[in-house]
Amino acid sequence: MTESTATPSVSRWHARFRAMGPGIMMASAAVGGSHLIASTQAGALYGWQLALIIVLANLFKYPFFRFGPQYTLDTGKSLLEGYAEKGKIYVLAFFVLNVFATVVNTAAVGLLCAAILSFVLPGSWSVAVLSVAVLLSVVVILLVGPYRAVDGISKLIMISLTITTVLAVAIAASRGAAMQADFVEPSPWNLATLGFIVALMGWMPAPIEISAINSMWVAAKRQIDKVSYEDGLFDFNVGYIGTASLALVFLALGALVQYGSGEAVQMVGGAYIAQLINMYASTIGEWSRWLVAFIAFACMYGTTLTVVDGYSRTNMESFRLLTGGKHRSNRVLAVWVVLAAVFGLCMILFFKSATGPMLKFAMIASFVTTPVFAWLNLSLIGHTQHKPKPWLMWLAWVGLLYLSAFTVLFLLNQVGVLK
């Protein structure tokens, strides 16, 4: 009796481990700008006050991100194919937004990755040269093994990132908060802070288009391994819940190390990472400089790798659906990968000073478009074999209302209706 019950258990967990990949890659793509920068800045500026906003953003976006892999696991089609069945106008809208996001996000994450290297490497290295090196290495990895390479590297990075981040927070917590006795805590609950909050939610845990990217990764994974519906959703949940938890861990980094310390928080990504590393070195000890530098670099390199791969896949698929193409291939994907890297590098070289504002604009644009693609994902999942549980549908409708209301509030504030 014991042997007969043990075998299925081992088999089940072995199958689940083999199925893991797309969810971890999604997590790797998410922990760059939203976690290392936005979450940590939120903690540095407002302590724990925005923890609820981070929790609600992750909670209310959960159904719409889940519907991506769920739709592909159930139908064998990508979300983009589902969009196309509703009308090419949806694919065109996605393609236009996705191309913009590809260039801006590739430039932003590549630049941040290079900035970290310039800060920790000995000697005087140009950020432009290091940006070329980072994006070139990413392209080489993706051309050698488009899916397997990203899958394996993402798992390694996420395991290392989780261990080192939790370790850093534990050390910071044991030392106590850095808040000065006379520090007056600012309130984020005003219209002046609304732009920061919306940008924070826009990429929390990731831009909404990552749901379509994740469905493409699920399709690629199923070409390599047999992934069941249940195991595929298990992989997604591990990645999503892990990403949401890490967002709060990064918030803790800023709250424990920088909040109320008396030093102004840098809002430009590269400068902020350098400040964060210096603050850790002075607060926890000089030895921690390399620990935090590793966290930052692993975070941004993993994000750069998955961003270039994921956006290239969805650009390729969107273009195929718009032009009536029949086949996908690694050669076509390679072209889109190279284009993403080249145009991202061009933005770094020619518009370096504007990358910061454009990154914030991209984060806000992601949030503003979230209700549209959330509704599309919701409308598609109703026509699948595995119907979502009632609690999930309830959460989706409440989440859609929440995200739409916040979007309307932000837009009204932008046009001056609210004062």
| pLDDT tens profile 170-211 | 888 887 777 777 788 899 998 888 888 988 888 888 888 889
The owner of tokens 């696991």 is: 73
Q: What pLDDT is recorded for position 267?
A: 74
Which residue has better confidence, 397 or 145? 397
DSSP 208-260: TTHHHHHHHHHHHHHHHS---HHHHHHHHHHHHHHHHHHHHHHHHHHHHHTTT
The owner of tokens 């047999």 is: 226
Burial 99-138 (b: 16+ CB within 10 A, else e): bebbbbbbbbbbbbbbbbbbbbeeeeeebeebbbebbeeb
What ranges do the domains of the chain cover? 2-87+150-282+346-414
Q: Sort residue 21 into left (φ over 0), alpha (ψ -120 to 50) or beta.
A: left
pLDDT above 70 for 8: no
Smallest CA-to-CA distance from 133 within 145, 121, 144 is with: 121
Whole-angstrom Cα Rg for the chain = 21
Q: What pLDDT is recorded for position 325?
A: 76
> Distances from the Cα of 38 to the Cαs of 33, 199, 240, 247, 265, in angstroms?
6, 8, 18, 9, 12
Q: What pLDDT is recorded for position 51?
A: 96
> What would the mean pLDDT of 29-42 be, rounded to a whole number?
82
Determine which of 136-145, 328-337, 362-371 has the lowest per-residue pLDDT on average: 362-371
DSSP annotation of 378: H
pLDDT tier at 353, thresholds 50, 70, 90: low
d(CA 9, CA 157): 28
Determine which of 9-13, 139-143, 201-205, 287-291 has the lowest per-residue pLDDT on average: 9-13
pLDDT tier at 80, thresholds 50, 70, 90: very high
Q: Sort residue 190 into left (φ over 0), alpha (ψ -120 to 50) or beta.
A: beta
pLDDT tier at 6, thresholds 50, 70, 90: very low
As given in the structure block, the two tokens for residue 75 are 């139908």
Note if the bond before 69 is cis, omega within 30 degrees. no
Identity of the highest mean pLDDT range in 34-38, 47-51, 284-288: 47-51
Smallest CA-to-CA distance from 171 within 291, 278, 50, 87 is with: 291
Q: What pLDDT is recorded for position 352?
A: 67
Neighbouring residues of 116: CB distance < 8 A, sequence distance ≥ 6: 270, 273, 293, 296, 297, 300
pLDDT tier at 395, thresholds 50, 70, 90: very high
Q: What pLDDT is recorded for position 419?
A: 61
Q: What pLDDT is recorded for position 32?
A: 72
> What would the mean pLDDT of 301-325 be, rounded to a whole number?
89
Q: What is the mean pLDDT of the chain?
A: 83
Determine which of 75-84, 240-249, 270-279, 381-390 has the lowest per-residue pLDDT on average: 270-279
Q: What pLDDT is recorded for position 269?
A: 63
As given in the structure block, the two tokens for residue 12 are 């089940």
Which residue has better confidence, 283 or 70? 70
pLDDT above 50 for 7: no
Q: What pLDDT is recorded for position 118?
A: 82
Q: What pLDDT is recorded for position 4?
A: 38
Number of continuous H segments (helices) and E segments (strands) in the chain: 16, 0
Q: What pLDDT is recorded for position 48?
A: 94
> What would the mean pLDDT of 79-93 be, rounded to a whole number?
90
Q: What pLDDT is recorded for position 3?
A: 38
11 exposure class (CB count in 10 Å sphere: 0-12, 13-18, 19+): exposed
Is residue 96 a contact partner of residue 350, using CB atoms and an 8 Å limit? no
Q: What pLDDT is recorded for position 403?
A: 93
